[in-house]
Amino acid sequence: MDFELIILGAGAAGMMAAVACGEERLAQNLPALRLAILEKNARPGIKVLVCGGGRCNLTNAGSQDFLIRQFGRNGRFLTPALRHFDNDALRAWFAARGVPTHEEHDGKIYPDSNQAKSVVDALAARMAELGVASFAGPGCAATAVRKLGAGEPDSPGFAVTLTDGRTLSTSLLLLTVGGQSYTRMGTTGDGYRFAQAMGHTIVTPRPAIVPLLCQQSWVAECQGVAVQDVEVRIEAPGPLPRLATGKPAPSINDLMFTHFGLSGPAVLNISEIVAELLERFDVITLRIDLLRHHTREQLAAEMRQWQSGCGRRLPRTMLASLIPQRLADVLCRLAGIGETQTCAVLTAAQMHHLIESLKSLRFTVYQTRGFKEAMVTAGGVSLAEVNPDTMESRVCPGLFIAGEVLDLTGPSGGYNLQLAFSTGRLAGVNIARSLATATHSA
Ligand SMILES: Cc1cc2nc3c(=O)[nH]c(=O)nc-3n(C[C@H](O)[C@H](O)[C@H](O)COP(=O)(O)OP(=O)(O)OC[C@H]3O[C@@H](n4cnc5c(N)ncnc54)[C@H](O)[C@@H]3O)c2cc1C
């Protein structure tokens, strides 16, 4: 047998699993495992480096219950992993490794260094201390994985075939190859193929935390414009169908216009639901309340005040005190307000149109930006087939699965890295324990 454990994929989950496995062996006064972590990128943790715009929003300060709720219907699966290694434990682990963290808006946790590199470096340094053999580069990409049949040399165990032609054998296998989003980072959905080959069911992967394309071509004029604290609602054609995600549809957060449509956390966090609905409907309507702290009546009163008190001024100038100027320009035009028309001659119909635009701006979404631009992948290895207490497969003993490859997806805000770290950690500890038990009973 070449290795006792092979970890496929040196991302957040894989690196944390390798570290946890090594630390558990140390705690039990056992020698280091013959453990290899294989990564198809040139270096481990490449995707973590781009997290949070390079600053790495590595977790969220919410309670365990709050974190679980962020994962919708599937969140309960995470209970044992979070109980074992929650956000406080994660922060304490990094602080002990010289990476203190701090909390920002919405409970987002970042390293004090504001550099994702310090997170990756801490994990890589700990792996090296613990004697983890790390192999990275295109030649180390796994192309096929199979369970060894009874009677084959090295059985029971697994055979992992690499791009460079080598086949490695291992007693236990941990799958942490991530999803299939942001494919340029090495995550191309290989894990689904590997898991399927070992008997697992895959819940259809779909892009999540992904920008949306809409039919309203005027959005291009607002490219780069951000509006804070908006409320986004989904209007499906007919009653909103029962969603696989089980997540609440209204989303309150910041909005960003792009040259093709909509982005920003308010939209990204419901994009998984939109992606699911777009599988059934050609288009989905989003209604956005740009000024959720103003009622229609308050806005009507304010506009009457523009008429009486600022009659010689332009509506677009007045509106810019409430929303960004470029958006104000577009909304005035859509309301049929002429470029030189003053507030004094605003018609009731124009005011009504403006108020409706501010309170219920309509967008017709026809597509997401797809896996290429999605930050995470929804769907994945069916949770019913994985033991949440150990992360071991229920259909293929000896196979462990952790991280984004599982059918678990949170919104933006540090939840997805916490999921990867917690499930990776739990898998690593349980692998170390199961190998220790096997050694003792041998
Ligand atoms: C731009 C961007 C920003 C993000 N920002 C945040 C953030 O701030 N906070 C947050 O919580 N989440 C963020 N995420 C999501 C987060 O990156 C993922 O949820 C997390 O990295 C998943 O961890 P993982 O270990 O399961 O998979 P990954 O980190 O994706 O690691 C999987 C690894 O497996 C490797 N691999 C794949 N196939 C093979 C193979 N066949 N052989 C060998 N190796 C293979 C990949 O190269 C990769 O390194 C962001 C994602 C993106 C794209």
Q: What is the pLDDT of residues 146-204, one digit of tens each?
A: 999 888 887 889 999 999 999 999 999 999 999 999 988 889 999 999 999 999 999 99
Q: Ligand 1 center to residue 187 CA distance, Å?
A: 7
Q: Ligand 1 center to residue 175 CA distance, Å?
A: 13
In our burial notation (b when 16+ CB lie closer than 10 A, e otherwise), range 59-87 reads bbbbeeeebbbbbbebbebbebbbebbbb
Out of 337, 369, 401, pick the residue that ends a domain: 369
Query: In total, how many domains does the chain have?
Result: 2
Residues 360 and 404 grouped into a single domain:
no
Give me the amino acid identity at 231: E
> pLDDT, tens digit, for every residue of 31-55?
888 999 999 999 999 999 999 999 9
Domain interval for residue 59: 3-207+377-441
Residues 365 and 393 grouped into a single domain:
no
CA angle 39, 110, 97 (to 5 degrees): 65
Q: Ligand 1 center to residue 4 CA distance, Å?
A: 25
Mean pLDDT of 374-393: 97
Is the pLDDT confidence value at 404 over 70? yes
User: Quick one: tokens of 345?
Assistant: 């001659």
Q: DSSP readout, 160-208?
A: EEETTS-EEEEEEEEE----SSSGGGT--SHHHHHHHHTT--EEEEEEE
Return d(Cα 58, Cα 99) in angstroms, integer: 11
Say if ligand 1 is within 6 A of residue 268 CB: no
Say if ligand 1 is within 6 A of residue 209 CB: no
> pLDDT, tens digit, for every residue of 421-438?
999 999 999 999 998 877
Counting ligand 1 atoms within 8 A of each CB, the residue from 6, 39, 48, 51 with the most, and so the one to mutate, is 51
Say if ligand 1 is within 6 A of residue 10 CB: yes
CA torsion, ordered 93, 98, 103, 107, to nearest 10 deg: -30
Contact 441, 15 (CB under 8 A): no
Crossing angle for the helix pair 415-441 and 87-96, to the nearest 10 degrees:
80
Out of 315, 335, 369, pick the residue that ends a domain: 369
Mean pLDDT of the chain: 94
At residue 439, the pLDDT reads 61
Q: Ligand 1 center to residue 181 CA distance, Å?
A: 8
How much is the ipTM here?
A: 0.99
Say if ligand 1 is within 6 A of residue 182 CB: yes
What one-character DSSP code corresponds to residue 411?
-
Q: Report the atom number in ligand 1 closest to the C-alpha of 14.
A: 25
Q: Ligand 1 center to residue 234 CA distance, Å?
A: 28
Q: Ligand 1 center to residue 288 CA distance, Å?
A: 31
Confidence of residue 235 (pLDDT cuts 50, 70, 90): confident
For 258-405, where are the E strands, in sequence order?
261-263, 284-289, 361-368, 376-381, 399-401
Residues 364 and 248 grouped into a single domain:
yes
Counting ligand 1 atoms within 8 A of each CB, the residue from 140, 416, 423 with the most, and so the one to mutate, is 416
In our burial notation (b when 16+ CB lie closer than 10 A, e otherwise), range 126-136 reads bbeebebbbbb
Segment holding 226, helix H or strand E: strand 226-235
Q: Ligand 1 center to residue 45 CA distance, Å?
A: 8
Give me the amino acid identity at 109: I
CATH number at residue 36: 3.50.50.60
Backbone angles phi, psi at 252, to 5 degrees: -115, 115
Contact 369, 274 (CB under 8 A): no
Residues 422 and 305 grouped into a single domain:
no
Say if ligand 1 is within 6 A of residue 50 CB: yes
Residues 254 and 187 grouped into a single domain:
no
Say if ligand 1 is within 6 A of residue 11 CB: yes
Indicate which residue's Cα is closest to atom 47 of ligand 1: 186
Contact 426, 81 (CB under 8 A): yes
For 264-338, where are the E strands, in sequence order?
284-289
Q: Report the atom number in ligand 1 closest to the C-alpha of 194.
A: 41
At residue 38, the pLDDT reads 97
Contacts of 1 (CB under 8 A, 6+ apart): 154, 157, 169, 170, 171
Residues 320 and 393 grouped into a single domain:
no
Q: Ligand 1 center to residue 322 CA distance, Å?
A: 38
Q: Ligand 1 center to residue 302 CA distance, Å?
A: 48
Out of 314, 335, 369, pick the residue that ends a domain: 369
Say if ligand 1 is within 6 A of residue 396 CB: no
Counting ligand 1 atoms within 8 A of each CB, the residue from 375, 386, 408, 426 with the most, and so the one to mutate, is 375
Is the pLDDT confidence value at 247 over 60? no
In sequence order, the β-bridge partners of residue 285 are 235, 364
Residues 332 and 388 grouped into a single domain:
no
Q: Ligand 1 center to residue 308 CA distance, Å?
A: 57
Residues 339 and 256 grouped into a single domain:
yes
Residues 216 and 90 grouped into a single domain:
no
Say if ligand 1 is within 6 A of residue 316 CB: no
Say if ligand 1 is within 6 A of residue 263 CB: no
Residues 313 and 201 grouped into a single domain:
no
Confidence of residue 245 (pLDDT cuts 50, 70, 90): low
Residues 171 and 64 grouped into a single domain:
yes
> pLDDT, tens digit, for every residue of 301-338?
999 999 999 999 999 999 999 999 999 999 999 999 99
Residues 351 and 222 grouped into a single domain:
yes
Pairing of strands 226-235, 251-257: antiparallel
